[in-house]
């Protein structure tokens, strides 16, 4: 017994930095996606406060989603900007800067003047802050995934990388819960007048906690090994192997990597963020029912992520991601038909929403590790961040805009299903060319 204590103490010390890395690396995602979720969940209210003079109803919502989409197109720029800095200067200082920018811009949205006060300046101010958020969000993903996977013990990259997606789910859940609670406790006029500001202002204390956690983060072993020209670490060998295979930060590699997670991006935003506005505008549900539906879908999403990441450590990334993409392609239309059918009970509809979120979680769990393993240490933050940002710019940021406008023009309520299924079909095709990756 006495001989086992030093071993146990050594393991505990080894786990310490990894545990701190999980907290510090993933907390920024919670803040980021909390804000993005709040914006999506309160899109109909924001349309009235900032874009209503340009047209109410669906037209105002389209303009709101246009501002939403614009932020996503700043993500690739943020991925390159912060990624290059993070790959050169280190993970810790750049991650601190990223969360500071995200916290500040989200808080400022909560104090913006509306159209009734500032006129045409109001939507421009909102859109400008969204653009700055896009820059910081573009840097957040690559940095957090690099930290999580580079601190991961052998054979656990899938699980550790899944914490990034899990805190995304927690952020969306928190956003949905706060938005739903605000809408429930306040009257309609109160929510439209000043209540919508409260969820955005809550980002300030959340961001301060994230800053505190990241201030105590140490640099990753992989980055230190590269900068000190240290050889022999597992990640250094991965980098050498990646270079030997010709993996570079080229356009072809980036596009293939982005295609592999396109379904995750599209289905995630369709069923987890855009859903409340779709239910209100297209199916005429009230705001409370719509937000409850989003909460159920995000709960299923959160529950599936960590098991999916752990499973990918055992069977490989590709089978788990491919299963999620195929299931979304197959179930998207039946899911919306279920939601549209007044003869189906609320319990069945709720179960369907939980299942839809869980299927998206199958892709979100192993997705970060798959991207991290695509690029060597020296370009990892830039590469995986840019691939993810490109997928989200095209398939997530445009989801609300494309779906709302297409439904408005065609009158077809199944448009969201077609959109998610098409993106997942693209991912499935890209994944078929991806060799099954062993746990690392």
pLDDT tens digit sequence for 279-294: 877 777 777 788 788 8
User: Whole-structure pTM over 0.85, yes or no?
Assistant: no
Mean pLDDT across 235-242: 47
Q: Give 230's pLDDT tier (boundaries 50, 70, 90).
A: very low
Of the listed ranges 20-24, 56-60, 158-162, 297-301, the least confidently predicted one is: 56-60
Q: Identify the residue with better confidence: 2 or 341.
A: 341
pLDDT given at position 366: 96
pLDDT given at position 315: 95
Instruction: Please determine, for residue 354, whether its predicted confidence score (pLDDT) is greater than 90.
Output: yes
Q: Return d(Cα 363, Cα 367) in angstroms, integer.
A: 6
pLDDT given at position 55: 47
Mean pLDDT across 116-133: 88
Q: Give 229's pLDDT tier (boundaries 50, 70, 90).
A: low
| HEC sequence for the chain | CCCHHHHHHHHHHHHHHHHHHHHHHHHHHHHHHHHHHHHHHCHHHHHHHHHHHHCCHHHHHHHHHHHHHHHHHCHHHHHHHHHHHHHHHCHHHHHHHHHHHHHHHHHHHCCCCCHHHHCCHHHHHHHHHHHHHHHHHHHHHHHHHHHHHHHCCCCCHHHHHHHHHHHHHHHHHHHHHHHHHHHHHCCHHHHHHHHCHHHHHCHHHHHHHHHHHHHCCCCCHHHHHHHCCCCCCHHHHHHHHHHHCCCCCCHHHHHHHHHHCHHHHHHHHHHHCCHHHHHHHCCCCCHHHHHHHHHHHHHHHHHHHHHHHHHHHHHCHHHHHHHHHHHHHHHHHHHHHHHHCCCCCHHHHHHHHHHHHHHHHHHHCCHHHHHHCCCCHHHHHHHHHHHHHHHHHHHCCCHHHHHHHHHHHHCCCCHHHHHHHHHHHHHHHHHHCCCCCCCC
pLDDT given at position 316: 93
> pLDDT above 70 covers what percent of the chain?
87
Instruction: Please determine, for residue 300, whether its predicted confidence score (pLDDT) is greater than 50.
Output: yes
pLDDT given at position 434: 52
pLDDT given at position 236: 47
Mean pLDDT across 333-339: 89
pLDDT given at position 10: 40
Instruction: Please determine, for residue 411, whether its predicted confidence score (pLDDT) is greater than 50.
Output: yes
pLDDT given at position 101: 93
Q: Identify the residue with better confidence: 396 or 389.
A: 389
pLDDT given at position 84: 92
Q: Return d(Cα 141, Cα 145) in angstroms, integer.
A: 6
Q: How far apart are the two ends of the chain, measured CA to CA in Å? A: 31
Instruction: Please determine, for residue 439, whether its predicted confidence score (pLDDT) is greater than 50.
Output: no
Instruction: Please determine, for residue 235, whether its predicted confidence score (pLDDT) is greater than 70.
Output: no
Q: Give 183's pLDDT tier (boundaries 50, 70, 90).
A: confident
pLDDT given at position 53: 59
Instruction: Please determine, for residue 238, whether its predicted confidence score (pLDDT) is greater than 60.
Output: no
Which range scores top for mean pLDDT: 182-186, 189-193, 355-359? 355-359
Instruction: Please determine, for residue 331, whether its predicted confidence score (pLDDT) is greater than 70.
Output: yes
Give the residue extent of every domain in the chain: 21-432
Q: 188-217 burial string, b = 16+ CB within 10 Å, else e?
A: eeebbeebbbbbbebbeebbeebbebbeeb
pLDDT digits (tens, 9 = 90+) for 130-162: 899 889 988 998 999 999 999 988 889 999 999
CATH fourth-level superfamily of 21-432: MFS general substrate transporter like domains (1.20.1250.20)
pLDDT digits (tens, 9 = 90+) for 11-51: 443 455 677 788 888 888 888 888 877 887 787 788 888 87
Instruction: Please determine, for residue 6, whether its predicted confidence score (pLDDT) is greater than 50.
Output: no
């Amino acid at each position: 017994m006495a001989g086992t204590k030093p071993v146990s103490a050594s393991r505990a010390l080894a786990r310490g930095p990894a545990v701190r890395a999980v907290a510090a690396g993933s907390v920024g995602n919670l803040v980021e996606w909390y804000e993005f979720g709040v914006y999506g969940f309160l899109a109909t209210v924001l349309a009235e406060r900032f874009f209503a003079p340009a047209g109410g109803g669906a037209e105002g919502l389209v303009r709101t989603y246009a501002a939403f989409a614009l932020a996503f197109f700043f993500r690739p720029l943020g991925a390159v900007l912060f990624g290059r800095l993070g790959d050169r200067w280190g993970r810790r200082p750049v991650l601190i800067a990223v969360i500071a920018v995200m916290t500040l811009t989200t808080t400022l949205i909560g104090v913006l003047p509306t159209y009734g006060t500032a006129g045409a300046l109001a939507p421009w101010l909102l859109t400008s802050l969204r653009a700055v958020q896009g820059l910081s969000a573009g840097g957040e993903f690559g940095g957090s995934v690099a930290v999580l996977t580079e601190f991961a013990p052998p054979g656990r990259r899938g699980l550790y990388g899944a914490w990034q997606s899990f805190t995304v789910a927690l952020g969306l859940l928190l956003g949905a819960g706060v938005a739903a609670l605000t809408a429930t406790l306040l009257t309609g006029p109160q929510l439209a007048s000043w209540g919508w500001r409260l969820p955005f202002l809550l980002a300030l204390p959340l961001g301060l906690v994230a800053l505190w956690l990241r201030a105590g983060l140490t640099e990753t072993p992989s980055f230190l090994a590269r900068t000190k020209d240290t050889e022999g670490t597992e990640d250094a060998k991965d980098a050498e192997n990646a270079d030997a295979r010709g993996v570079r930060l080229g356009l072809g590699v980036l596009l293939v990597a982005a295609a592999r997670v396109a379904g995750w991006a599209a289905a995630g935003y369709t069923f987890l963020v855009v859903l409340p506005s779709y239910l209100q505008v297209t199916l005429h549900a009230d705001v409370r029912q719509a937000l409850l539906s989003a909460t159920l879908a995000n709960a299923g999403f959160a529950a599936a992520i960590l098991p999916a990441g752990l499973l990918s450590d055992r069977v490989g990334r590709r089978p788990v991601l491919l299963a999620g993409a195929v299931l979304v392609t197959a179930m998207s239309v039946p899911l919306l038909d279920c939601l549209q059918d007044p003869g189906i009970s609320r319990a069945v509809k709720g179960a369907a929403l939980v299942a839809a979120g869980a299927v998206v979680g199958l892709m979100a769990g192993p997705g970060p590790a798959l991207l991290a393993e695509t690029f060597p240490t020296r370009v990892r933050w830039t590469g995986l961040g840019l691939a993810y940002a490109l997928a989200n710019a095209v398939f997530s940021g445009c989801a609300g805009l494309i779906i709302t406008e297409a439904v408005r023009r065609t009158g077809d309520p199944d448009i969201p299903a077609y959109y998610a299924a098409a993106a997942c079909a693209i991912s499935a095709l890209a994944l078929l060319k991806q060799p099954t990756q062993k746990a690392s």
